[in-house]
Amino acid sequence: MQADIQQRLDDFIRRKGLRRTNQREAIVQAAFSQDEHFTAEELFERARKIDRDASRATVYRTLGLLVEAGLLREIDLGGSQTTYDPNFLDKPSHNHLVCIDCGRVVEFEDKHVDLLNDCVTRRLGFKALRQSIKIDASCEKLRQNGRCENLIKSRLSGKRLLKKR
Amino acid sequence: MQADIQQRLDDFIRRKGLRRTNQREAIVQAAFSQDEHFTAEELFERARKIDRDASRATVYRTLGLLVEAGLLREIDLGGSQTTYDPNFLDKPSHNHLVCIDCGRVVEFEDKHVDLLNDCVTRRLGFKALRQSIKIDASCEKLRQNGRCENLIKSRLSGKRLLKKR
DNA sequence: GTTATTGCAAATGATTTGCACAAGG
DNA sequence: CCTTGTGCAAATCATTTGCAATAAC
């Protein structure tokens, strides 16, 4: 976990008069140990490996805090569970593309996209505070080669693709 | 309700071997009588005014059908309930801006935005099938004039702004 | 000590579903 | 008839919350 995150979290905790607890530390560590997105349930499982005492309730409560602190962002990938994205500190205005073939989520940042959206927003009489773009797409590699390593990998690992809503 | 919608719905019903029922008709009519977005619950209320027998379960089941038929689209406006958008037939690739001051949802279409997103997607090795953009924005009018008629209206009507998640 | 935090289990709230009855074709 | 559709109430499932016990500071 980057020092940057720890720093911001400490600030937040001090500012709000909160306390450092083992459970919280474990959950935070679990959240930022990888740059992969996760659901509350997935985070719960990860956190348990660090601190067997971590409970689902505390995971949910901590998620709320981390979102409030601006360290985590809720994103909508279309499932029935909320997905959390830990990468907004590194890439403050990135967006998501979801491959409908293999379920892979690709993050992308593009200045032009941001600029154009600002433009459109201003034209409508507003000031853009946040934009989220989700693109559902199919894999060109799969179509052209008949195969795509991500699809194979995700099938093998039994990884959830698009969960039902 | 446009004839176009009725037409497409009839096709769908025939193609799938479904049946025309009063409840369904009432719900469909309620869904397309206005071009406003709605939640399942809101649709249920509207439908009840047309057919007192319509039940919540049938509303949910019909919503599923309408989405499957491509007449309605689920969109994410951030609340705890799914929002349904009946305007994708008229504006097949429109997007949404949500005013954080008054909760108003503004639809917009922009060729350039579409084009640019296609571009970005292709560069990533994918083919875009659907894109959804949500922009959270604040009202410039409110900031400059200290007032915004939408805000006033929504306050007066006690209309839900952004429901908690 | 005082107040925030936790785990548990119960509550919530949106949506889904099993089932027996009703009704389209 | 035969199958699909319906309302109801019960079930689901993610998330939230009340509470008594625990732990920061």
Q: What is the mean pLDDT of residues A1-17?
A: 92
Residue A165 lies in a domain: no
Which chain A residues are closer than 8 Å to B117 by Cβ?
113, 133, 135
Q: Same domain for A79 and A99?
A: no
Helix, strand or coil, per DSSP, at residue B83: strand
Q: In the listed set B84, B105, B127, which residue is the last one of a domain according to the structure?
A: B84
Q: Evaluate whether A137 touches B119 at the Cβ level (below 8 Å).
A: no
A102/B103 Cα distance (integer angstroms):
35
Q: Same domain for A119 and A152?
A: yes
Range of the domain at B15: 3-84
B81/B46 Cα distance (integer angstroms):
16
Q: Same domain for B72 and B116?
A: no
* Amino acid identity, position B74: E
Query: Pairing state of beta strands B126-139 and B95-99?
Result: parallel
The pLDDT tens digits for B10-59 are 999 999 999 999 999 999 999 999 999 999 999 999 999 999 999 999 99
pLDDT score of A88 more than 70:
yes
Q: Residue B15: enclosing H or E segment and its boundaries?
A: helix B3-16
> Residue B111: which CATH number?
3.30.1490.190
Q: Same domain for A64 and A79?
A: yes
- Total domain count for chain B? 2
Reported pTM: 0.90
Q: Same domain for B76 and B8?
A: yes
The pLDDT tens digits for B132-152 are 999 999 988 777 776 666 655
Q: Same domain for B123 and B50?
A: no
Exposure on the CB side of residue A68, measured as CA atoms within 13 A: 11
Q: What are phi and psi of A33, to 5 degrees?
A: -75, -25
Q: Same domain for A97 and A79?
A: no
Covered bases, chain D (protein CB within 7 Å): 3-9, 13-18, 23-25
B33 touches chain A (CB under 8 A): no
Q: In the listed set B54, B84, B114, which residue is the last one of a domain according to the structure?
A: B84
Q: In the listed set A34, A51, A84, which residue is the last one of a domain according to the structure?
A: A84
